[in-house]
Chain A
Amino acid sequence: MLYRESGDFSETYKADSQTFPIKFDRYRYYAVLAFAFLVIPFIINDYWANAVLVPFLIYAIAAIGLNILVGYCGQVSLGTGGFMAVGAYACYKLMTAFPEVSIMIHVVISGGITAAVVTVFGLPSLRIKGFYLAVATLAAQFFLVWLFNRVAWFYNYSASGQINAPDRTVFGHLVTGPNTEAWAKYMICLVFLTVAGILARNMTRGALGRKWSAIRDMDIAAEIIGVNPLTAKLSAFAISGFFIGISGALFFSVYLGAAEVGEVFGIQKSFLVLFMIIIGGLGSIFGSFAGAAFMVLLPVLLKNVLVGGLGWDTALAAHLEFVIVGALIIVFLIAEPHGLAQLWRVAKEKLRLWPFPH
């Protein structure tokens, strides 16, 4: 009914190979974009920006990055927290060293620096696979946190080891620092996420993405059909690192404003982003969004319902939150191991056939 394809013809190859070939899907996509760009900035307030939407947008970028590596190329990584820290510290060093350069450029360069670092840590993937690679990236996580704690140059020799984001503007509007308007924070993250989403979507369905999938599915077979594992794996690490670096830079500069590497970019962050893509759906861009939304929004929602709505004790609510989120993760993984993205796919399939299923 909703997904009626009759009368929806493609007349050119270009139209046939576009991202959303079904007309309804395409319009829904435009509607979401229009709502995100044209409606939310006018109604957003500080609470929605700082507690809900900005973390969601930033985690979505990180989840896209990790999904490219784990979901598309099959290289397990537990170093996301450390890689985000690279983005954050690169951004901090650039912001303080070159205050006259636009923050947008700094964020992109931070992504580039992170891509280089992640590629170096990706080199072992040419020799080791699976759990062993996971352990190697875990080492990267601990090494990077140790490095940023240990070498005072990274935090400009401040007494406490904290890094603080100075005020920076884009087109005359503050985007970092304490006086930033809620909509400005939201918009800069939204712009980066939109570009990241479009880039990732098109890369993953092009030649590059097919090479990654071939490596993921069976690397020896991929090598036999002519995929170069060196370039395929390292490009996955680099591109994944680029997105994760951007998310780390935004996380520090726009969202938190001050960060401490051990606390903010610890191993929990790596697991959080990994959970996001597992729950959202490995190998799906939509899954990255869904997983980030699930992991960011659900705790806030539960807290507001239990403490704000029902007036429960905060400690009880916090404990119950762990139980509920944990239980939901288990239920999801048992009921739908391919994540929220698969649920969405099934729902779409059903809607296309409704009301006459096979």
Chain B
Amino acid sequence: MKRLATATVAAVMAAAPVMADLVFPSLSYRTGAYAANGIPFADGYADYFTLLNERDGGIGGVMTRLVECETGYNTEKGVECYEATKGEGSLVYQPLSTGITYQLIPKATADGIPMHTMGYGRTSAANGKVFSNVFNYPANYWNGASLVVNHLLDINGGDIKGKTVALVYHNSAYGKEPIPTLEALAAKHGFNVSLLAVDHPGQEQKSQWLQIRRERPDYVVMWGWGVMNQVAIQEAANIRYPMENFIGVWWSGSENDVLPAGDAADGYKHITFHNVGDDYPIFEDVAKYVVDAGKAAGAGDQVGTVLYNRGFYAAMLAAEAVRKAQEIHGVGDITPAMMRDGMEALEITEARMAELGMPGFGPSFAVSCENHGGPGTGAVAQWDASAKKWSLISDFSSPDMSVIQPLIDADSAAFAAENNITEGCN
């Protein structure tokens, strides 16, 4: 009888979730037209938290719990996922979709839950005075656009007057984000921008590439996602567009995007805000504690790919923010409001990155109440089709903030006026 009771108690304990844990919702998409890119990111995000649980016993002695919810990159499902997970004490939302981000910014702010949209989402959220709960460090779209133009300036000896840059973009909020920046930079440096929209899901791009073939722009810049990327690279190869003149944003530069085109994709470039490859000490721990232990998310075959690393990096930044929040408030089991404070006080140094086993993986930066956007530094990576590897061909450099900052201020001011927000941080 006693044994039965013990067994029952044990069963109940095992079945009931542990109350004190740090909940990280993962609004992932492993299905649909964007799954090829959604899967590695979700795997990396999940594996980092698994690693922390297995190796360190959570963060600051409190276990983490990942709640995954499938959005299919669809805003309605994203809303459903948000509502389903917010009650579990979710600390931070990272939807990996600009559409869902736009949807959630007001909702999460009203519920007091922070959002981290790393390298995507609403760029003007970098202005922390208006967007109190939204963070997009270490880089955003407008940084990306400026970095692309800086790279073009570099390879042209600082003069791109009269050149033509075609922007092939996903016809959505995501793809439209860089247009104002590119236009402002075009006015400053005297080049021409031609805009080519590709509708969701991006399977059909014949007419856009026909136009590129006819107009022969000097450079093609891409803001694509999901299946659109591979189709665009294939089409560029079909019209024999020189790959070294074709540059994607960080969301258009994963292995999944270039591999289908085979050798023809050799030389394709993309801008990135973190380093590439799996040559970091932490990946030994991942192999030991996560992959070999059979605890890897998904198929476990994505370790070290570009988007896996990005998900991994996003999880690392979230975990560091949790540590900061625990330090500020002196409790282990933090609330979303404390998480927000932790994110706002986050400071990533070279030394800390090295300590984590990721030396030089991302920039060192500090977040402040006013600046939620980080430094916006980035480098250019190029694809080597024979070695099937990305490698950095430039150093990390800074974007042209003299153009971007006025745009951020104007857009966030418009948002504040529309929604009657008074500026904070005073």
Identify the A interface with B (CB < 8 A): 46-47, 50-51, 55, 149, 158-162, 164, 166-167, 177-179, 255-260, 262-264, 266, 300, 303, 307, 314-315, 317-319
Contact = CB atoms under 8 A, between A and B. Distances in A.
Given A159-B180, A160-B177, A177-B106, A256 B75 contact: yes
Contact of A166 (B35, B68, B419): B419
Given A159-B177, A159-B180, A262 B79 contact: no
A-B pairs with lowest CB-CB distance, top 6: A315-B30, A178-B106, A178-B110, A160-B173, A314-B70, A51-B80
B79 A162 contact: no
Nearest to B124: A159
A256 B177 contact: no
A258 B173 CA distance: 11
B75 A318 contact: no
B199 interface: yes
A24 B68 CA distance: 46
A47 B173 contact: no
A98 to B, nearest CB: 15
Contacts of B411: 159
Nearest to A179: B110
Interface residues of B, number: 44
A80 to B, nearest CB: 15
B172 A164 contact: no
B199 A257 contact: no
Contacts of A264: 75-76
A159 B179 CA distance: 8
B11 to A, nearest CB: 15
B31 A51 contact: no
A259 B197 CA distance: 18
Most chain-B CB neighbours within 10 Å: which of A158, A178, A259, A319? Answer: A178
Contact of B102 (A47, A160, A307): A160
B418 A166 contact: yes
A258 B102 contact: yes
Given A51-B80, A260-B173, A318 B102 contact: no
Nearest to B87: A47
Given A162-B102, A179-B110, A256-B76, 5 more contacts: A160-B176, A257-B106, A260-B172, A300-B80, A318-B72
A160 B173 CA distance: 4
A50 B31 contact: no
A303 B77 CA distance: 11
A262 B197 CA distance: 12
B398 interface: no
A260 B102 contact: yes
B367 interface: no
Q: Binding site of A, secondary structure by majority: helix, strand, loop or mixed? A: helix
A179 B109 CA distance: 9
Given A260-B99, A314-B28, A50 B199 contact: no
Contacts of A263: 74-75, 99, 172, 200
Interface string B135-173: 000000000000000000000000000000000000111
6 contacts: A161-B172, A166-B418, A258-B102, A260-B99, A262-B171, A266-B200
A259 B80 CA distance: 15
A158 B109 CA distance: 21
Contacts of B99: 260, 263
B301 interface: no
A178 B75 contact: no
A275 to B, nearest CB: 15
A317 B79 contact: no
Contacts of A47: 83-84, 87
Nearest to B419: A166
A187 B144 CA distance: 44
Contacts of B111: 178
B274 interface: no
Contacts of A307: 69-70
Contact of B69 (A55, A255, A256, A314): A314
A146 to B, nearest CB: 9
A51 B77 CA distance: 8
Contacts of B197: 149
Contacts of A161: 172-173, 176
Interface in B380-426: 411, 414, 418-420
A312 B177 CA distance: 36
Nearest to A52: B80
A178 B109 contact: yes
Contact of A50 (B28, B69, B83): B83
Nearest to A157: B414
A55 B76 contact: yes
A75 B122 CA distance: 42
Contacts of B39: 315
B241 to A, nearest CB: 26
A319 B79 CA distance: 19
B263 to A, nearest CB: 31
B352 interface: no
B103 interface: yes
Nearest to A180: B110
Contacts of A160: 98, 102, 122, 173, 176-177
Nearest to A165: B106
Interface string B78-106: 01100110110000000000110011001
A242 to B, nearest CB: 24
A96 to B, nearest CB: 8
B173 A167 contact: no
Contacts of B75: 256, 259-260, 263-264
Contacts of A255: 79
Given A160-B173, A257-B106, A300-B80, A317 B70 contact: yes
Contacts of A178: 106-107, 109-111
A314 B68 contact: yes
A246 B31 CA distance: 32
A149 B98 CA distance: 16
Contacts of B76: 55, 256, 264
Given A258-B103, A263-B172, A315 B70 contact: yes
A188 B103 CA distance: 20
B106 to A, nearest CB: 4
B9 to A, nearest CB: 21
A67 B302 CA distance: 47
Given A159-B177, A162-B173, A314 B30 contact: yes
Nearest to A257: B106
Contacts of A177: 106, 419
Contacts of B35: 315
A303 to B, nearest CB: 8
A29 B35 CA distance: 45
Among A47, A160, A179, A318, the most chain B Cβ lie within 10 Å of the Cβ of: A160
A263 B34 CA distance: 13
Contacts of B122: 160
Nearest to B38: A315
Interface centre among A55, A159, A264, A300 (most CB of B within 10 A): A159
